[in-house]
């Protein structure tokens, strides 16, 4: 895939990642536990056999990675982890009876934090707890995030025993100098061993996470990391841009700013990685920051138009309501977004009162649903058919979105999109800047005053 650095520089700006629409900064406390309960009942009554997706947040890590933007807590206390696990199971017990037993779970994801900070026995315990309370689809996609540091073969064996078939490993960079600067020293052999364990135990898909724009990262260190990653032949690769926002994440002040690549160099690192993965290594660029082998489910779903996007990123399981368990987890139902509390003490107190832990959310309007549909079509399938939108939402596409189409005309002139009479199509160069294309339809982004905009990561 050819990359035009001038275009990347021109269009690189702070924009949402569109894992939802409206995005999480627009959630408010007008949506609370009672609103969430009512929506769960409504959704369950309206579609008692609709599929479910479950997200479990395990927030604990052994140490703080300085680049991290996740909701996490550092601990070395096994008792603290065991307590959280008890409450997580109780939260599951509160919500599971509200859902029809006829609804199959087609997707499960354990994220963090570091889910594999649980012991192998605790992994089995939590997995069995879920299976006892939900009907798992025979072909359910079950994934777990893992840190190769501290990971054992017993962890992988336990994950496989409870049905995990996908593993995501954090790599970021194989370069020791970069690793030291971000406080994540992880010898390459640990990652290689973890991948081998996954293959040996029948894990069907392995994903490796990389980050570009890290301190002391250079074309040479990126080349070495990419070479090591390609040699491991993961099924999927996520290539994230490091967002340096020390004003929001105070621990990022521990990263020396003078060691960060200059903006142009950071874009060159992205170009280097993109070309290596797609041209030499044969991976398909799915979109945004995801790559997959051509025969991977993500690539196949994109080919047949069934790729979807939620708070876990790109997904092949269409039409599933997402129910989230644990600190900060976000529920994603057809008629509501709702987020659990981020405060651990509040989380425990509310569960002790047999209450769900939702503290904020958002109920999309019909206009939100319309714009969400268009944005997700662009993000997932690089095209939106005007006639299909008009039939589904009873609007005149060109009239309704005249302002958005005007915003897209400069992108059309630069070869990023094609504005046809029947469809809007993201051209190959535009797929690298699909957030810019989608943002044209974001009413919240364009209606708010500049000083009222949330802080988003850069689009490249």
Q: What is the DSSP letter of 318?
A: T
Are 172 and 211 spatial neighbours (Cβ–Cβ below 8 Å)? yes
Q: Which candidate, 196, 227, 193, places its Cα nearest to that of 210? A: 227
Per-position DSSP letters for 200-256, written without gaps between them: HTT--EEEEEEEES-TT--HHHHHHHHHHHHHH--SEEEEEEP---TTT-GGGGGS-
Strand-by-strand arrangement of the 205-212 sheet: 284-287, 290-292, 236-241, 205-212, 166-172, 135-146, 104-112, 52-58, 321-325, 330-333, 336-340, 358-362
Which positions make up the binding site?
55, 61, 65, 67-69, 112-114, 145, 172, 184, 209, 243, 330
Tokens of 328: 């900060």
pLDDT at residue 305, as a whole number = 87
pLDDT at residue 452, as a whole number = 58
Residue 1 clears pLDDT 80, i.e. is over it: no
Average pLDDT score over the chain: 95
Angstrom distance (rounded) from CA 451 to CA 26? 15
Q: Which domains does the chain have, with CATH numbers?
A: 1-17+365-446 (1.10.10.920), 18-325 (3.80.30.20)
Angle in degrees, CA 239, 4, 209, rounded to 5: 5
Segment 16-52, tens digit of pLDDT: 999 999 999 999 999 999 999 999 999 999 999 999 9
Residue 456 binned pLDDT confidence (cut-offs 50, 70, 90): confident
Residue 352 clears pLDDT 80, i.e. is over it: yes
Angstrom distance (rounded) from CA 229 to CA 331? 33
pLDDT at residue 457, as a whole number = 80
Which positions make up the binding site for [4Fe-4S] cluster?
61, 65, 68
293, 296, 299, 302 alpha-carbon torsion, rounded to 10°: -170
Angle in degrees, CA 93, 94, 99, rounded to 5: 90
Residue 450 binned pLDDT confidence (cut-offs 50, 70, 90): low
Residue 108 clears pLDDT 80, i.e. is over it: yes
Angstrom distance (rounded) from CA 149 to CA 147? 5
Angstrom distance (rounded) from CA 177 to CA 156? 29
Tokens of 3: 């990359």
Q: Are strands 104-112 and 135-146 parallel, antiparallel or unpaired?
A: parallel
Segment 425-438, tens digit of pLDDT: 999 999 999 999 99
Angstrom distance (rounded) from CA 235 to CA 166? 10
Q: What is the DSSP letter of 3?
A: -
Which positions make up the binding site for S-adenosyl-L-methionine?
55, 67-69, 112-114, 145, 172, 184, 209, 243, 330
Segment 308-329, tens digit of pLDDT: 888 888 988 877 999 999 999 9
Residue 449 binned pLDDT confidence (cut-offs 50, 70, 90): low
pLDDT at residue 219, as a whole number = 98
Angstrom distance (rounded) from CA 124 to CA 286? 33
pLDDT at residue 435, as a whole number = 95
Residue 460 clears pLDDT 90, i.e. is over it: no
Which long-range contacts (C-beta less than 8 Å, at least 24 apart) are formed by 286-289?
286/314, 287/314, 287/379, 287/380, 287/382, 287/431, 287/434, 288/17, 288/314, 288/379, 288/434, 288/435, 289/238, 289/239, 289/240, 289/241
Average pLDDT value for residue range 145-164: 98
Cα 2–chain centre separation: 26
pLDDT at residue 313, as a whole number = 84
The beta strand positions in 36-128, using DSSP E, are 52-58, 60-61, 73-74, 104-112
**DSSP-derived 3-state class of residue 162:** coil
Are 58 and 112 spatial neighbours (Cβ–Cβ below 8 Å)? yes
Residue 128 clears pLDDT 70, i.e. is over it: yes
Angstrom distance (rounded) from CA 129 to CA 124? 8
Segment 208-266, tens digit of pLDDT: 999 999 999 999 999 999 999 999 999 999 999 999 999 889 999 999 999 999 999 99
């Amino acid at each position: 895939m050819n990359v035009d650095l001038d275009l990347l520089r021109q269009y690189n700006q702070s924009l949402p990642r569109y894992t939802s629409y409206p995005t999480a900064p627009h959630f408010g406390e007008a949506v609370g536990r009672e609103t969430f309960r009512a929506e769960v009942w409504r959704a369950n009554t309206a579609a008692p056999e609709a599929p479910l997706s479950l997200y479990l947040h395990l927030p604990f890590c052994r140490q703080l990675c300085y680049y991290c933007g996740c909701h996490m807590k550092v601990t070395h206390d096994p008792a603290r982890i065991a307590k959280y696990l008890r409450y997580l199971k109780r939260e599951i017990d509160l919500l599971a009876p509200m859902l029809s037993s006829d609804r199959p779970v087609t997707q499960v994801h354990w994220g963090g934090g570091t889910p594999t900070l649980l012991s192998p026995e605790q992994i089995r315990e939590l997995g069995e707890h879920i299976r006892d309370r939900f009907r798992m689809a025979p072909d359910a996609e079950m994934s777990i995030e893992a840190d190769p540091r501290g990971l054992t073969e017993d962890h992988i064996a336990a994950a496989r025993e409870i049905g995990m078939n996908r593993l995501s490993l954090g790599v970021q960079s194989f370069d020791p100098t970069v690793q030291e600067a971000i406080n994540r020293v992880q010898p390459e052999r640990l990652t290689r061993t973890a991948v081998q364990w996954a293959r040996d135990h029948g894990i069907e898909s392995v994903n490796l996470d990389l980050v570009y724009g890290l301190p002391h990262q250079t074309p040479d260190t990126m080349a070495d990391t990419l070479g090591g990653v390609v040699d491991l032949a993961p099924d999927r690769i996520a290539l994230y841009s490091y967002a340096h926002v020390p004003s929001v994440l105070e621990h990022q002040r521990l990263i020396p700013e003078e060691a960060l690549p200059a903006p142009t160099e950071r874009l060159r690192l992205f170009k280097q990685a993109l070309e290596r993965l797609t041209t030499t290594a044969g991976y398909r660029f799915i979109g945004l920051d995801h790559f997959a082998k051509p025969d991977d489910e993500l690539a196949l779903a994109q080919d047949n138009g069934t790729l979807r996007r939620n708070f876990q990123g790109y997904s092949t399981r269409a039409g599933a309501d997402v129910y989230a368990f644990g600190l900060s987890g976000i529920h994603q139902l057809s008629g509501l977004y709702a987020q659990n509390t981020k405060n651990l003490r509040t989380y425990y107190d509310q569960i002790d009162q047999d209450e769900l832990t939702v503290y904020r959310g958002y109920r999309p309007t019909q206009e939100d649903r319309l714009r969400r549909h268009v944005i997700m079509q662009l993000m997932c399938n690089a095209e939106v058919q005007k006639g299909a939108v008009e039939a589904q939402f009873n609007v005149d596409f060109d009239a309704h979105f005249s302002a958005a189409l005007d915003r897209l005309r400069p992108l059309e002139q630069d070869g990023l999109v094609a504005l046809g009479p029947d469809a809007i199509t993201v051209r190959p160069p535009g797929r690298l800047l699909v957030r810019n294309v989608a943002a044209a339809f974001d009413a919240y982004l364009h209606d708010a005053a500049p000083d009222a905009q949330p802080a988003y990561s850069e689009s490249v």
